[in-house]
Structure formats: structure tokens, C-alpha cells
């Protein structure tokens, strides 16, 4: 999606447009984004408030491009980062657009109020689903909203560097079937503050209640049963796909619990770099 965003920006503003991408993990981003004179990867601390303010002040245009923008399912910290950038874009009179974003569940009353007030300051919100646009309008967001498909669909990898994925064991000839595994019981995350090295820093603590832990284990058993069913009943091999590095935990659980584990492989975004 990010690579498609970059292509879109250059198509509209010209190849010489200068793009800054803030990130808390520069090393990971450099695996698939090439820095150059007109593209900069800017490290951002987990306590992001001052840095985001500076990034916005230094820029002419602000784009929010994360799919899971208007929701606190994953953590309030991500939502606050997008709203904080929107706030300073409004304060500094900089154009601000949310591009190919989504809107989901917001549990916190405070977060709902923040979305209503801060997202309304956005100059344009482009959602990737009609349902997301309706949620935003239902929350009282008054910014202009358009709907279009996720622009990740427009991304065309370099065919010269793409090879078919063979999830079977070496030498296997079975057709492959992919399962993108997500543990829905890992969230929401909670934010906490604590001292480290004499400094106050933000830590994202994963708090799992006993019921959530049990549900997570049952989910892993169900995934393993499904994967074994695909192997035994349909004669396919299985690719256990980790779209996020965080998904590796449940993928390894599933693989360990499969009776036909020799017919499955784990493919993680932590080690598989998309060709550019």
C-alpha cells in the first residue's frame, strides 16, 4: 500500500516531489522503500508528539495513509498519531488528506470525541470502503469524504523479481492454499508509562485476560484443524501467511499443532520483502 501511495503522489505532483515517511522502525521500512534525494525515511520515537508536530510544520502537504486509521482496535496510540498530525496540519494551515483509509470500532468515548473533532479538520478523507465513510459520518465527522478502492490493488510488483510461492515441502507438486492468520484476541493494546534510564517513555503493554488467552488457544486449534483439513481432504499444501510480524506467534502455534505440518510453511513479512 505504501509503495502504491508513493507512486500515486509522484504521478500527481511529479517525480521530483519530496516525500518524507515518518516511522518508528526505519530498518524494516528500508527493506522495501528506497531512499533518495526526493524520498526520506525519518525516524520517529514512540513518544511521537513533538516529532509529528515538527514533520507537519516542515511539510507543505500531509497525507495519512494507514488503512486502520480511524479505530482504536489495535491501540489508541496509533489513532492519536493520526489525529495529532491532523490537528497540527490545521494549526499550521497545511492541507491534510487521509488516503485510502478505513474506519472501524472505537470503544473509547474520548476517542470518539477526538475523531469527531479532529478528523473533521481534515481537508479530504478518502475511505477504501463505503461502510467506513458511513461510520465516519455517523460519528459526526464533517470533513468531505470520498470512497474508492484500496489503492494497494494498483501496485504491480517487479515481475523480474517475483517467483511463485511453493508452500509445499521441497519437491512437492501439490497446489498451494494460503491462510492469512490473525489472532483477534491480542487486542486491544493498552498504553502505559514507565521510567527507563531516568527518562519517561511510552510502552505498549499487551494485556491478555484469562478468557482472551483461552480464546486465542482455541483459535489456534481451529486454524490447525482447518489447515489439516485442506491437506487431507483437498490434497493441497498450505502457506501460513503472516501479513504482520506480530502474526508469527499464532502462525508458529498453528504449525506446531498440525498433524500434517510437513505440508505447511510459514511466510512472514518479517523476512519476506516485497519486490519493487
Name the more confident of 57 and 212.
57
What pLDDT is attached to residue 68?
83
Kindly report the pTM of this predicted structure.
Answer: 0.75
Asked whether 109 and 92 are in contact (CB, 8 A), the reply is no
pLDDT in tens, 85-134: 999 999 999 999 999 899 998 988 999 999 999 999 999 999 999 999 99
**Beta strand 145-147 with 124-127: parallel, antiparallel or unpaired?**
parallel
- Pairing label, strands 199-205, 190-196: antiparallel
Q: How large a percentage of the chain has pLDDT more than 70?
A: 83
Given a cut of 80, whether residue 169 has pLDDT beyond it is: no
pLDDT at 107: 84
CA–CA distance from 175 to each of 185, 259, 267 (Å)? 31, 19, 16
Spatial separation of the C-alpha atoms in residues 4 and 10, rounded to whole Å: 10
- pLDDT, mean over the chain: 85
Would the pLDDT of 29 be above 60? yes
Give bridge partners of residue 146 from the DSSP assignment: 126
Amino acid at each position: 500500500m505504501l509503495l502504491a501511495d508513493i507512486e500515486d503522489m509522484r504521478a500527481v505532483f511529479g517525480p521530483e516531489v519530496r516525500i518524507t515517511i515518518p516511522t518508528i522502525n526505519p530498518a524494516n521500512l528500508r527493506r522495501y522503500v528506497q531512499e533518495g534525494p526526493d524520498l526520506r525515511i525519518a525516524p520517529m520515537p514512540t513518544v511521537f508528539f513533538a516529532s509529528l508536530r515538527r514533520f507537519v510544520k516542515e511539510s507543505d502537504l500531509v497525507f495519512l495513509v494507514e488503512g486502520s486509521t480511524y479505530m482504536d482496535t489495535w491501540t489508541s496510540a496509533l489513532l492519536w498519531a493520526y489525529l495529532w498530525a491532523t490537528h497540527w496540519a490545521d494549526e499550521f494551515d497545511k492541507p491534510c488528506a487521509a488516503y485510502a483509509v478505513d474506519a472501524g470500532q472505537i470503544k473509547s468515548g474520548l476517542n470518539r470525541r477526538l475523531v469527531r473533532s479532529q478528523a473533521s479538520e481534515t481537508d479530504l478523507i478518502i475511505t477504501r470502503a463505503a461502510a467506513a465513510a458511513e461510520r465516519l459520518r455517523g460519528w459526526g465527522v464533517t470533513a468531505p469524504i470520498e470512497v474508492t478502492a484500496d489503492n494497494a490493488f494498483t501496485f504491480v510488483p517487479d515481475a523480474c523479481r517475483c517467483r511463485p510461492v511453493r508452500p509445499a515441502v521441497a519437491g512437492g507438486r501439490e497446489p498451494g492454499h494460503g491462510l492469512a492468520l490473525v489472532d483477534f484476541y491480542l487486542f486491544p493494546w493498552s498504553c502505559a508509562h514507565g521510567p527507563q534510564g531516568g527518562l519517561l517513555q511510552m510502552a505498549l503493554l499487551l494485556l491478555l485476560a484469562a478468557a482472551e488467552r483461552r480464546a486465542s488457544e482455541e483459535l489456534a486449534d481451529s486454524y490447525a484443524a482447518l489447515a489439516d483439513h485442506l491437506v487431507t481432504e483437498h490434497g493441497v499444501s498450505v502457506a501460513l501467511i503472516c501479513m504482520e510480524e506480530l502474526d508469527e506467534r499464532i502462525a508458529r502455534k498453528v504449525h506446531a499443532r498440525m498433524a500434517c505440518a510437513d505440508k505447511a510453511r510459514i511466510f512472514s513479512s518479517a523476512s519476506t520483502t516485497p519486490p519493487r
